[in-house]
Amino acid sequence: MEIKTGPVWPCSLEDPTDRRSGKPRQSGLSMVIDKGLGPAAFSDLLLTAGEYIDLLKFGFGTSPLYKDEILRGKIAMAKQHKVATFPGGTLLEAAVRLEVVSEFFDMVGDLGFDGVEVSDGTIELSRRQRDSLITEATQRGLRVFTEYGKKQSGSRIVLEDLRRTVELDKGRGAELVTVEARESGVGVGLFDDSGNCREDELRRLRQSLPELDILLWEAPRKDQQAALLRILGTEVNLGNVAPSDVMSLETLRRGLRSDTFALHRLVSDYMI
């Protein structure tokens, strides 16, 4: 272990909120979307910011497009930094449509992915199909992250549907339920056609949903992340974070950026 003998940053400057914990975290999770980083860029990301990444999604259907040794290498590197990996839900949706679900799960396990995302953002899944996919994944020892919402522009959150989805998915073994916002964060779910957060709607959801810890909110933009942190608290789970924004998000979480600067003084006002 390296022993530092010179000046060190005051602890209060490292985390003014005094709420961030180390891995493995149970809340305040950050999920990064990887849309095709090369091995060198991926290694740099983990070396620089791996401590602040909990989950990493190989976006959309990119996983089969990699050379085998590159994909395996990236997954292995992530494991070294205690970052859990999973392929994007669109790939499983494609497997359902093409009737190759068992082959999909075989490959996910062989490659060393930690989990899968079960979604129906593009296709329609019956409740029975959704349950079956969650069950198969858990029986194979995979972590399951489900997703609520459609990818079509104009899709909105329906409280009772979300509540029911969380209840049933959790009962089947899902670890987190992701609220859809796509990688753009525009015109879907919580965000309007300009990408602005519907903050009044978010406050109503906070009051009405009993288990916010199980939700992971896709929020690719800084203003969206800041709004969720201010309203739901520093330990909200956030996803679809761009690799280049990991450190930036961590400063938002800790009140080290002007957008959330008040969190280190007023954090108790925003606790769930």
Give the tens place of pLDDT for each residue, 127-164. Answer: 999 999 999 999 999 999 999 998 788 788 889 999 99
**Is the distance from CB of 143 to CB of 173 less than 8 angstroms?**
no
pLDDT of residue 85: 98
pLDDT at 53 over 60: yes
Residue 8 falls within a domain, yes or no?
Answer: no
Q: How far, in Å, are 58, 119, 234 from residue 88 at the CA level?
A: 6, 9, 26
Span 236-254, pLDDT tens digits = 999 999 999 999 999 999 9
Q: Confidence band (pLDDT; 50, 70, 90) for 18?
A: confident
Backbone angles phi, psi at 254, to 5 degrees: -95, 5
Residue 154 falls within a domain, yes or no?
Answer: yes
Q: Confidence band (pLDDT; 50, 70, 90) for 270?
A: very low
Q: Confidence band (pLDDT; 50, 70, 90) for 188?
A: confident
Choose between 137 and 4: higher pLDDT: 137
Residue 6 falls within a domain, yes or no?
Answer: no
Locate 4 and state its tokens. 């530092």
Span 87-113, pLDDT tens digits = 999 999 999 999 999 999 999 999 999
pLDDT of residue 187: 84
Choose between 205 and 263: higher pLDDT: 205
Helix (H) or strand (E) holding 266: helix 263-266
**Is the distance from CB of 259 to CB of 248 less than 8 angstroms?**
no
Closest CA to 74 of 114, 17, 102: 114
- Dihedral over alpha carbons 113, 162, 220, 46 (to 10 degrees): -30
- Please state the domain count of the chain: 1
Closest CA to 252 of 19, 10, 8, 9: 19
Q: Confidence band (pLDDT; 50, 70, 90) for 3?
A: low
Residue 110 falls within a domain, yes or no?
Answer: yes
pLDDT of residue 190: 92
Backbone angles phi, psi at 62, to 5 degrees: -75, -25
Amino acid identity, position 210? P
Residue 136 falls within a domain, yes or no?
Answer: yes
Average pLDDT of the chain, as a whole number = 92
Domain with 49, as residue range(s), is 16-270
Query: Checking phi first, is residue 152 left (phi over 0); if not, alpha (psi -120 to 50) or beta?
Result: beta
Q: How far apart are CA 16 and CA 11, in angstroms?
A: 8
Backbone angles phi, psi at 202, to 5 degrees: -65, -40
pLDDT at 2 over 90: no
pLDDT of residue 112: 98
pLDDT of residue 186: 84
**Is the distance from CB of 209 to CB of 215 less than 8 angstroms?**
yes
Q: Domain containing 159 — which CATH number?
A: 3.20.20.70
Residue 90 falls within a domain, yes or no?
Answer: yes
Residue 49 falls within a domain, yes or no?
Answer: yes
Q: How far apart are CA 105 and CA 181, in angstroms?
A: 25
Q: Confidence band (pLDDT; 50, 70, 90) for 268?
A: very low
pLDDT at 269 over 60: no
Amino acid identity, position 115? G
Strands 215-218 and 143-148 turn out to be unpaired
Nearby residues of 86 by Cβ (< 8 Å), 6 or more positions away: 55, 56, 57, 58, 108, 113, 114, 115, 116, 117, 143, 145
Spatial strand order of the sheet with 176-179 comes to 84-87, 55-58, 30-34, 237-241, 215-218, 176-179, 143-148, 115-118
pLDDT at 255 over 70: yes
pLDDT at 84 over 60: yes
Residue 2 falls within a domain, yes or no?
Answer: no
